[in-house]
Amino acid sequence: MFTQINHKHQKHIDLRSDTVTLPTDEMLDAMRLADVGDDVYGDDPTVNRLEKESALVMGKEAALFVPSGTFANQVAILTHTFRGDEILVPESNHIVQHEVGSAAVISSVQLRTLPDLYGVVDPGYIRLRIREKDIHYPRTGLLALENAHSSGTVVSLENLDIMTEPAYKAGIPVHLDGARIFNAAHVLGVEASQIARCADSVMFCLSKGLCCPVGSILAGRASFIERARKMRKLMGGGMRQAGYLAAAGLVALHKMVKRLSEDHENARYLAQLLDSVREIEVHHEQLKINMVFFSVYQQNFSPSKLVDYLLSHGVKINPPMDGSFRLVTHNGIQRENIQYVHAIFKEFFF
């Protein structure tokens, strides 16, 4: 009934996120054959190798393997800040929108949100919100940025420099949520390390477009990562034979990074086909990585009817957020799947 699905375990064309990607056969083989130890004792050779290679790729002294992107951001915040600190962060960023307010719970810090457009903030706002020394004020403990941004856009190196300059001038560290830093690097035509250079610490996810089942990396100075390792243990993130997971991470770094541009091309192809559906307006200004955002203009349109119709035809999408739908391309999505999805959209609006 459905067009060819890329992976034997996939039953749907799943466009909800790139987090739905499944490990490749090469990853599964590498996992099964992984040389492992107990990573809390520091003697899992595969984790150690993944951390070493990740640090190198990010241009940092050291790296730490953690269970998720949220975990990486939160362990970074806990390591950078003191209780009662204030963090400056663009208001649309993942740390504000999708991490359950955990910075308040785990690190006892408050988020001071900055008005932004796709993760870009006027540096004047940053400058103005850096706290002076005053008995009434919290300390500004961190500036946190995001690239690629979860709106599907990419922040330029120039904008990263402009935004971080006031923080560095004031001696405030910078953390970069680089969940999709390799997607951003493809778009900017630079190495990921050139993006990571703007920040003291950077995290990236192995379990999104890179197809690992689990895992993210936090990278930074050796002394920072040493403290973060202890904080990871405090947060319950000390994993034992984690080499089985790290083995997939190594395949991701060696093989999957370079294919991300295929996902970007497929997103553009999907957007181009959706452009032909009269009721759909694709947000082309957000079409930079593997995400297609669009709105629907039709009288009495029911978003849930569209979601249900697609599902009944084997296509999974999320309901809209703030009026926009988001479709995400990834390793499990081929051009023929996109053509099929387009046909189902056309059928729905017919």
Ligand X SMILES: Cc1ncc(COP(=O)(O)O)c(C=O)c1O
Q: Which two tokens stand for residue 200?
A: 């003291």
Taking CB under 6 A as the criterion, the residue among 88, 111, 172, 205 binding ligand X is 205
Run of H or E including 129: helix 123-129
For the chain, state the CA radius of gyration. Answer: 21
Residue 31 CB partners (closer than 8 Å, separation 6+): 23, 244, 245, 247, 248
Q: Is there binding between residue 146 and ligand X (CB under 6 A)?
A: yes
Stretch that binds ligand X, among 64-72, 77-85, 219-227, 233-241 (CB under 6 A): 64-72
Q: Is there binding between residue 68 and ligand X (CB under 6 A)?
A: yes
Give the nearer residue to ligand X in terms of CB position, either 239 or 273: 239
| Shortest Å distance, C-beta 278 to ligand X | 31
| Shortest Å distance, C-beta 20 to ligand X | 11
Give the nearer residue to ligand X in terms of CB position, either 205 or 271: 205
Q: Which residue is nearest to ligand X (CB)?
A: 69
Taking CB under 6 A as the criterion, the residue among 69, 90, 173, 243 binding ligand X is 69
Give the nearer residue to ligand X in terms of CB position, either 73 or 286: 73
Enumerate the β-bridge partners of residue 271. none
User: Distance between CA 319 and CA 13 in Å, rounded?
Assistant: 16
User: Distance between CA 305 and CA 273 in Å, rounded?
Assistant: 21
Q: Which two tokens stand for residue 277?
A: 């559906």
| Shortest Å distance, C-beta 266 to ligand X | 19
Q: Is the peptide bond before 148 cis (omega within 30 degrees of 0)?
A: yes
| Shortest Å distance, C-beta 67 to ligand X | 8
Q: Which two tokens stand for residue 187?
A: 């778009």
Amino acid letter for position 225: I
Q: Is there binding between residue 70 and ligand X (CB under 6 A)?
A: yes
User: Distance between CA 128 and CA 24 in Å, rounded?
Assistant: 48
Taking CB under 6 A as the criterion, the residue among 60, 80, 94, 264 binding ligand X is 94
User: Distance between CA 32 and CA 285 in Å, rounded?
Assistant: 43
Amino acid letter for position 30: A
Give the nearer residue to ligand X in terms of CB position, either 179 or 198: 179
Q: Is there binding between residue 150 and ligand X (CB under 6 A)?
A: yes
| Shortest Å distance, C-beta 88 to ligand X | 17
- Residues at the site binding ligand X, with contacts judged by CB under 6 A: 68-70, 73, 94, 146, 150, 177, 179, 205, 207, 216
